[in-house]
Amino acid sequence: MLVAVIMIFVVFSFTGVAVLNVAYLSNLSSAETINNIKVQYATESSINEALWRINTSVDSLVNSDVDGITTVWDPSLNILSVSVDKFQMETEILLDLSEDTHFDRALASDETIITNGNTVDADEENHLRSFTFMPEVDLDYFTDNAVATHSNWFKRWDGDAEHEDDEAFAEGIHIFTGSFIELRDMNLNNCTLVFTGVFVSFSNTNTISAPVPADSADAMPALVFTNPNNRFYVDAEGSSNQKEDIINGAIYTAGTIILKKGELSGPIVGNTISLEDDYDYSNDIRFKDSEHPWFYRWTSGFKNKSHYDWPKQIGRWKTKTWKKKHHAV
């Protein structure tokens, strides 16, 4: 009987909030164990309902006191309190609901994420998510802080010193206002590249690295594409497809990004994101998020974080009370 009850406990663990300990349950009587599991189910059901109300913009309906279950939401602290006083048990759980943003995810979109059966090889906490909106680009921020603005059309920037159209790029923000632009064999450190036109492509091997943010400062993106009609490819070239791009930092596009082969360390935020095979090689996008966790935070150039109503998710939690009620004789 006890084994069956414990199995039910596992099945009912929806939210992942491990408020009960199986070893502890094994020391209880069957009746006490059943009451503990009833409280577990009631608590997690209340948490799920409260999260749904918070994330569907009905915060005013979160606070309630019904049938021995009390939920209290403090939006200023992002703390949700759930108390249960029933089944001869008293419990209180405090949950820190962290704000889940696009830049906390390996892949994030407000429209479409197409994997085509390919694996998103990112840490679970950074896995893909669809949002109901996209962050707004603050182009004035990039313009005001740019070290250079490039207005060329039909232009190739080539990192190979043998080419006469080489151009040195200083560290910082570079804005490209033209279209039909190609970057070839570029190795840029501590740079953010912002493209406002269309037909932007990378060829051969490019390594673009955004600055590493200091402490709690906002991150800087590596690539920003503001034109909704632009299609950008991360793919490979060469006789054995060995020439590929390495992008360290967030990539944002208001258009479409097609991911085929390359190494990406930061979040990919796009209106449409597609993981695809090439005609002569299988998809080989390698996410290096665990090696570059500093890029998974709010990113400069996208309005203020407080400008948005972010969906909430369980970050940390604390079991403040979990005990059997003692009745007076």
Question: How confident is the model over 80-119, as pLDDT tens digits?
Answer: 888 878 777 777 878 777 778 899 999 999 989 999 999 8
Helix (H) or strand (E) holding 7, with range, is: helix 2-11
pTM: 0.74
How many of the other CB atoms lie within 10 Å of CB of 140? 9
Same domain for 34 and 67, yes or no, is yes
Residues of the chain short of pLDDT 50, as ranges, are 1-15, 18-25, 164-166, 328-329
CA angle (105 as vertex; 101, 111 as ends), nearest 5: 80
Say whether both 49 and 162 belong to one domain. Answer: no
| Other residues' Cβ atoms within 10 Å of the Cβ of residue 85 | 17
- One domain for residues 57 and 109: no
Alpha-carbon distance of 36 to 31, in angstroms, equals 9
Three-state SS at 312? strand
The per-residue pLDDT for 60 is: 60
Give φ, ψ of 45 to 5 degrees: -60, -40
Residue 329 lies in a domain: no
Q: Is residue 126 part of a domain?
A: yes
Parent domain of 266: 102-307
Q: Provide the number of structural domains found in the chain.
A: 2
Cα separation, 121 vs 107, in Å, equals 11
176 in the same domain as 36: no
Same domain? For 174 and 129 the reply is yes
CA distance 267 to 287: 9
Q: Is residue 43 part of a domain?
A: yes
Q: Is 215 exposed, middle or buried (0-12, 13-18, 19+ CB in 10 A)?
A: exposed
Give the model's pLDDT for residue 64. 78
Q: Are residues 200 and 296 in the same domain?
A: yes
- Residue-level pLDDT at 245: 94
DSSP state of 185: S
Q: What are 229's two structure tokens?
A: 């009609």
Do 27 and 110 share a domain, yes or no?
A: no
Residue type, 317: W
Cα 76 to Cα 51, 248, 265, 316: the distances in Å are 16, 34, 32, 16
Is residue 146 assigned to a domain? yes
* pLDDT value, residue 18: 47
